[in-house]
Structure 1
Amino acid sequence: MLILGLLFVNANGVYASTTEEDDGYIQRSEIEHFMEIMAETETEQAREMNNELTKYMEENEEYLFAEVASIVDKYQVPDTTNQSDAMRYMEEVDPEALQRDFERIDTLAQEYYDYYQIHNEFPEDESSKQVSLRSMATSEALTVLKNAGIRMTERQLAARLAALGVIAAIDGPLPVGDFVALVTGAIIVSDYLSDYVARKDRLAQDIGNNEGRSFIKIVTESLSISETVTYEIKRNKVKHFRAFLNRLGGVIVGDPLTLSEAKLLARQEKDTFSVREDYAEKIVDQPNYKNVKHTPHYIDSRGNNRPANLPHWHLKKKINGSWEQIEGHHFFPWIGLK
């Protein structure tokens, strides 16, 4: 099951063309949208760059992407959102180890679910709410729940997932990844999304009663936003979006972008999100640049677990004679969205 740590921001504000064809030209509307994004920084560098781009458009009737890009490359517009600072100090962990944690918990939850179907109750030894610190330490997958205010062992979590699966009517336990997304406010894109949305009030009420009343609002908003994101991608066939880092892990998704707009933002070291890996790769496939792919950064500088983070590409630029990775993450989901 796929978790996307996404929060949808103003996706209806700008319409992005779905064309992925590169004819070497860029439209005036694309340049103007890029300039609007840069103007948000309210910096002198952005003003100077936008002035030069405006002059270029006044002097030409058609706009070559390479010529626009050469103007953009002359300026380094600082990021005033501070959204990218958090990623500079991320440490790598083995994504396979985290996935094994999730798979182990999901397998245990399936056993509990099957037991419940036969006995209409869970095994007695799991009714206790006592938390074992030893069992808490055995799984990195539980750290994010502890950070969110939920303390439980893997076996207690498995029992909860089984119960939530019954409520959600998904013919099995709630996947642990979906549960993590629900209680951290991340967006879910999964086969069960329509089932969750249909029962979002019951899910929110149950999680709120068991894990704390504050989770009712978080779960309800998570499901509502998830539904909106999925609909927007399918309706407008949007391939690329602006992106920012979410403090709880994952990605905040903003305005739709064309491929050309996304490429210009990449050169300015800004984050983007694409619906598939190959679309994200198109953003970093640019002349005079190299690129590198990273697995998700799951642990931040404070040791907090961020399992909703995503794989991504970086651009590499030649600086003082050597190729160096520059800021800007070009995220994509593990499983491509349609």
Structure 2
Amino acid sequence: MLKNQWWLTVLLIVGLLFVNANGVFANTNDEDEGYMQRSEIEHFMEITSEDGTEQSMQMITELAKYLEEHEEYLFEEVASIVDKYRVMKTTKDTNAIRYIKEVDQESLQRDFERIDALAREYYDYYQIHNEFPKEESSKVMTIRSIATSEALTVLSNAGIRMTERQLAARLAALGVIAAIDGPLPVGDFIALVTGAVIISDYLNDYVARKDRLARDIGNNEGRSFIKVVTESLVISETVAYEIKKNKIKHFRAFLNPVGGVIVGDPLTLSEARLLARQERDTFSVRKDYAEKVVTQPNFKYVYEDPHYTDGRGRIKLANLPHFHLMGRVNGSWDRLEGHHFFPWVGI
């Protein structure tokens, strides 16, 4: 009898572990199940109502009617309603051609590597001497400033004018403040001062020291950047929490006018797919998740590298790689306007 009870106990424990494992999987699963929750549709309606256009209001009215008339909600039925009220904006529309000039990515990467290497020299000197070397007498500096640096150009556009040596010193100082075992990477610094959300290996260090970082950048690069940097890190802190604690994989996204991608509120996969069909921007935590957003019946998609300049030649170094959804119009495949971003290194 006792032996049978022991086996019963083992089976109950295994059963509980199996249920818990499936529960965890259900919370983090991103697979398409074909159905939507009412809350997902209502959230999508809330997002699209921000337009305030007659077309979006008509779509919301029809979606509300659909919710009243059904108890289960098929994604494709909801999507068919959404598609009825989408105005296709493609690359054939001159208003959609935002990026004309491309930056040579190899040259850009060499600029970044050069400045980061110089910042590392400053940082290492500080670790030994507890002060930064004076520019005119330093014997450890081996890399010369280049006036045509893309990084200096984008900072100049943001209102910050400095030499590469001055920039390297700032990166080293900010690395000391953030205690990240090295200088602040130049790409992260550019994202900070242009207000873009930081998606970086050092995110937690920035968040933990956001007030000191904001104050230091404000004191040295202009008081107006205190507000920009603090707001950027607050957004990043929220995004990091949603990704790590709530296992969120998709977010609304907005192109920052001065470069970079601003990450907004969380989305489910179904919500992200509907927004893609409405030509809205999204952000996913990995390339394969972004690919799920644009993998939809009756659509194709195309990958694009980051656009580092806009049509006016302004440099925007904090932009990200992305997909575009493609829809069929008059028998041909046309690219939709929405961007579906993801980081170079998955989060």
- TM category (shorter chain) comes to 0.7 to 0.9
Between 1:179-188 and 1:277-286, the stretch displaced more is 179-188
Q: Distance in 1 between matches of 2:180 and 2:345?
A: 20
Instruction: Quote the residue 1:165 is aligned against.
Output: 175
| Secondary structure in 2 matching 1:247 | coil
Given the superposition, is the C-alpha separation of residues 40 and 293 from structure 1 closer, same or farther in structure 2, using an over 3 Å criterion?
same
Instruction: Quote the residue 2:61 is aligned against.
Output: 51
Q: Please, which of 217, 221, 225 is the counterpart of residue 235 of structure 2?
A: 225
Root mean square deviation, CA, Å: 2.6
Q: Distance in 2 between matches of 1:322 and 1:183?
A: 42
Measure how far apart 1:149 and its partner are.
Answer: 1.4
Between 1:158-167 and 1:301-310, the stretch displaced more is 158-167
Q: Distance in 1 between matches of 2:318 and 2:137?
A: 29
Measure how far apart 1:301 and its partner are.
Answer: 1.7
Given the superposition, is the C-alpha separation of residues 266 and 202 from structure 1 closer, same or farther in structure 2, using an over 3 Å criterion?
closer
Percent identity, please.
76
Q: Distance in 2 between matches of 1:59 and 1:200?
A: 49
| Secondary structure in 2 matching 1:125 | coil
8 Å Cα contact 1:275-1:336 kept in structure 2: yes
8 Å Cα contact 1:136-1:142 kept in structure 2: no
Q: Please, which of 181, 184, 198 is the counterpart of residue 194 of structure 2?
A: 184
For structure 2, list consecutive stretches of 5 or more residues without a partner in the other structure. Answer: 1-26, 139-143
Instruction: Quote the residue 1:276 is aligned against.
Output: 286
Instruction: Quote the residue 1:64 is aligned against.
Output: 74
- Per-residue deviation, residues 214-252 of structure 1 (Å, max 9, x unmatched): 233333333333222211221211111122211121222
Instruction: Quote the residue 2:111 is aligned against.
Output: 101
Between 1:226-235 and 1:190-199, the stretch displaced more is 190-199
Given the alignment of the two structures, is residue 288 of structure 1 paired with residue 303 of structure 2, yes or no? no
Residue type of the alignment partner of 1:103: E
The residue correspondences of 1:224-243 to structure 2 (distance < 5 A) are 224-243=234-253
Instruction: Quote the residue 1:89 is aligned against.
Output: 98
- Per-residue deviation, residues 113-147 of structure 1 (Å, max 9, x unmatched): 2233334444433589xxxxx95642112212111
Runs (4+) off by over 4 Å: none
8 Å Cα contact 1:95-1:296 kept in structure 2: no
Measure how far apart 1:299 and its partner are.
Answer: 0.3
8 Å Cα contact 2:242-2:266 kept in structure 1: no
Q: Which has the higher contact order (CA 8 A, sep 6+)?
A: 1
Measure how far apart 1:89 and its partner are.
Answer: 1.6
Residue type of the alignment partner of 1:170: I
Q: Distance in 1 between matches of 2:319 and 2:137?
A: 33
Q: Distance in 1 between matches of 2:346 and 2:276?
A: 21
TM-score by length of 1: 0.83
TM-score by length of 2: 0.81
The residue correspondences of 1:280-319 to structure 2 (distance < 5 A) are 280-319=290-329
For structure 1, list consecutive stretches of 5 or more residues without a partner in the other structure. Answer: 1-16, 80-84, 129-133
Measure how far apart 1:325 and its partner are.
Answer: 0.6
Instruction: Quote the residue 1:4 is aligned against.
Output: none
Instruction: Quote the residue 2:135 is aligned against.
Output: 125
Given the superposition, is the C-alpha separation of residues 220 and 87 from structure 1 closer, same or farther in structure 2, using an over 3 Å criterion?
farther
Residue type of the alignment partner of 2:330: N
Q: Distance in 1 between matches of 2:204 and 2:250?
A: 24
Measure how far apart 1:19 and its partner are.
Answer: 3.8
